[in-house]
Structure 1
Amino acid sequence: MDSTTQSQYSPKWQFRFNFFEQHGAPNTPAFKEAYKALPFGQKLKVNFNFFALFFSWIYLFILGMWRKALSVLGLTIVLIILASFMPDIVARGLGMGWSLLIALTTNYSYYLDKVKGNVSWNPFEGMRW
């Protein structure tokens, strides 16, 4: 990532982008090894997005990833419909799990969008599975 592109992002995003640039996608062995070596706070910084945890598809729209936001919104609607047929405790667990999944995938998705120019509809691209 060149210095002019990098300077337009906050130090937190610069750290994340540099980590992804150096170590690759979260599903690569190089990423996993480098991630294990990070202290807990830096692990959170690289792999977790608190805004995405609470605002999911809205935050993706704010970041400019409208394709991924629409995908997440569509899947969220499907999950809400499915959850309406489940016991309350299961539906709540499903909702929390879905929010966590979005929080864990947003940073790498943003890196792909802004640094690599990948504007796909898949919000889970390059993740661990």
Structure 2
Amino acid sequence: MDSNTTTPLSPKWQFRFNFFEQHGAPNTPTFKAAYKELPFGQKLKVNFNFFALFFSWIYLLILGMWRKALTILGMTIVLMVLASFMPAVVARGVWIGWSLLIAMTANYSYYQEKVKGNVSWNPFQGMRW
């Protein structure tokens, strides 16, 4: 772990960070193979963050990832403008998808920032696509 981690991590974050450390980024074959072997609950632990699902950029800001939080906030504002021109059903689907995307990227982004020292503005770096 990086020396700039001032507070001890919870067991949940330690599990996530250890998994990323051992198997790499979510877009690597090693990660994908190891991820398939995990039970459902541990898959959720590694690849999904419920706080990020509901609080998006605010949660990233609380974690200290202000660059990524500002990027998500900017993209959310753009989506808000675009969604105002869409039918309500489509806009709801866009918001659900956007929230799920943030929830699926938060854990690896936090790992990159805390362990690897990568403080980029890209919240989707190293993801599956």
Do the aligned residues in 1 keep the contact of 2:67 with 2:120 (CA within 8 Å)?
yes
The answer (yes or no) to whether the contact 1:6–1:14 under 8 Å persists in 2 is no
1:21-57 Cα offsets, whole Å, 9 max, x none, are: 0000000000000000000000000000000000000
Moved over 3 A (4+): none
Percentage of pairs with the same residue: 82
Q: What is the CA-CA distance between 1:6 and the residue it aligns to?
A: 9.6
SS in 2 for 1:115: helix
Would the aligned equivalents of 1:67 and 1:121 in 2 still touch at CA under 8 Å? yes
* Separation (CA, whole Å) in 2 of partners of 1:6 and 1:19: 21
Q: Aligned residue for 2:114? A: 114
* Structure 1 residues 8 and 91, CA gap change in structure 2 (3 angstroms): same
1:44-102 deviation line (CA, Å, top 9, x unaligned): 00000000000000000000000000000000000000000000000000000000000
- The answer to whether the aligner puts 1:65 opposite 2:65 as a matched pair is yes
Q: How does 1:22-41 map to 2 (within 5 A)?
A: 22-41=22-41
Within 5 A, what are the aligned runs for 1:90-101?
A: 90-101=90-101
Give the alignment's TM-score, normalised by structure 1. 0.96
Aligned partners of 1:123, 1:2: CA distance in 2, in Å?
20
**Contact 1:26–1:127 (Cα < 8 Å) also in 2:** yes
Q: Look up the equivalent residue of 1:59 and give its one-letter code.
A: Y
**What is the CA distance between 1:2 and its match in structure 2?**
7.0
- Provide the rounded CA distance (Å) in 2 between the counterparts of 1:103 and 1:37: 21
Pair 1:14 & 2:17 matched: no
Asked if the contact 2:2–2:114 (Cα under 8 Å) also holds between the matched residues in 1, the reply is no
Offset at 1:7? 7.5
Unmatched segments (≥5 aa) in structure 2? none
Please list, as runs of the form range in 1=range in 2, the aligned pairs for 1:68-87 lying within 5 A after superposition.
68-87=68-87
Normalising by the residue count of structure 2, what TM-score does the alignment of the two structures yield? 0.96
SS in 1 for 2:9: coil
Change (3 A) 1:99 1:2: closer
